[in-house]
Structure 1
Amino acid sequence: MGHREDLLEGAKRCLLEKGFVRTTARDIVKESGTNLASIGYHYGSKDALLVEAYVALVEPMGDGFEGAVGQGKSLERGGLDRFQEVWENIIRSIPESRAIWMMTLEVITQGERLAGVRELLIKAQVEGRRGIAATVIGMQESELTDDVVETEGRLYTTLLNGLMVQWLFDEDSATDAAQLTEGLRRMMARVSSASGE
């Protein structure tokens, strides 16, 4: 591995151990066996390196959200069965990815202390919305139109953030996938009934 990869791996380890606020450039250099100048040369700044490390930690989690959705079953694209199964996979991932979820919560609650990180992550949110929308709907990301990403992607991201907070706070009282799906089903029925459909 070169310095760029060493820095990224070192930053990932620092994030998992210390989070964003407590990780310093010197921590990353010590963990990666590189030097301070390498951070600026390869990433531009410590914040940019931390964001790239965070994204590298989060991306594999998204792959697990789909898991074995529909394996052996015919699940309708965008249907309630698929919706529930995807959320079951997401919830299943929370305990094993707790450190990553805690980092996400840290960015949300400590945003003013992480201005550079926060701004870079805001730009990355569009890709996150695209990824979760594609998973829940059952389409390839490239098939999604921007309006789907900006509506359904935002809805699913909001649900994801709410579930994350509930499960990190108290998993015994947190919403499960069946409750989430039943709530959605009832809301859809109420909306249909109110509009006379």
Structure 2
Amino acid sequence: MGHREDLLEGAKRCLLEKGFLRTTARDIVKESGTNLASIGYHYGSKAELLVQAYISLIEGVGEQFDPGLGGTVTQPPRSLERFREVWTSIIRTVPESRPVWLLSFELMFQDDRLDQVRKLLAEAQKESRAGLAALFSGVPEADLDQEAVETEGRLYQTLLNGLMVQWLFDPDSATTAEQLTEGLRRVIEGAGPG
């Protein structure tokens, strides 16, 4: 690996161990075996490096969301069965991905202290919405229209964030994929034609 990759891997380890606020440039250099000048050269700033490391961590978690991993047959796109199947797959990742979700919530509750980081991550949210919309709809990201991303993607992103709060706070009482699906089924039935 080169310095760029070493920095990224070192930053990921620092984030998981120390979080955003407590990670220093010196921590990253020590963890990656590089030097301070490498951060500026390869990433521009510590904040940009930490954002890239965080995005890489989140993408790694997101890749595990797909219920089609391991060759299992997935349910029809946009069906209640697919909805349940995807949420089951997402919930399955919680124990392993817990440190990444805790890091996400650290970010959410910072005010101006991480302003630059928050702005960079706001852009990454758009990609997240597209990925979630594609996962549930079965439509490749490249083929999704912007309205699907901005409506369906936002819905799934909102549900995901709320569900993660529950699973981080109290896994024993957190909503299951079956409960989430049954709730949606009831809402659809209650909505009637229209």
Q: 2:181 maps to what in 1? A: 181
The residue correspondences of 1:1-197 to structure 2 (distance < 5 A) are 1-68=1-68, 71-72=72-73, 75-192=75-192, 195=194
Counting aligned pairs with the same residue, the percent is: 63
Runs of at least 5 residues in structure 2 that lack an aligned partner in the other structure: none
- Aligned to 1:97, the other structure's residue is in SS state helix
Q: Kindly state the Cα deviation for residue 112 of structure 1 after the two structures are TM-superposed.
A: 2.7
Letter in 1 for 2:98: R
Q: Kindly state the Cα deviation for residue 71 of structure 1 after the two structures are TM-superposed.
A: 2.6
Instruction: Give the distance between the partners of 1:111 and 1:26, measured in 2 at CA.
Output: 24
Given the two structures, how large is their TM-score scaled by the length of structure 2? 0.95
Letter in 2 for 1:5: E
Instruction: Give the distance between the partners of 1:34 and 1:71, measured in 2 at CA.
Output: 42
Letter in 2 for 1:183: G
Q: Kindly state the Cα deviation for residue 33 of structure 1 after the two structures are TM-superposed.
A: 1.1
- The size of the alignment, in residue pairs, is 193
Q: Kindly state the Cα deviation for residue 13 of structure 1 after the two structures are TM-superposed.
A: 0.6
Instruction: Give the distance between the partners of 1:186 and 1:83, measured in 2 at CA.
Output: 14
- Poorly superposed stretches of 4+, deviation over 3 Å: none
Q: Kindly state the Cα deviation for residue 76 of structure 1 after the two structures are TM-superposed.
A: 1.8
Q: Kindly state the Cα deviation for residue 67 of structure 1 after the two structures are TM-superposed.
A: 2.6
Instruction: Give the distance between the partners of 2:127 and 2:170, measured in 1 at CA.
Output: 29
> What RMSD in Å do the two structures reach over aligned CA positions?
1.4
User: Does the 8 A contact of 1:64 with 1:89 survive in 2?
Assistant: yes
Instruction: Give the distance between the partners of 1:135 and 1:72, measured in 2 at CA.
Output: 14
- Aligned to 1:157, the other structure's residue is in SS state helix
Runs of at least 5 residues in structure 1 that lack an aligned partner in the other structure: none
Given the two structures, how large is their TM-score scaled by the length of structure 1? 0.94
Q: 1:72 to 1:10 in 2, by over 3 A?
A: closer
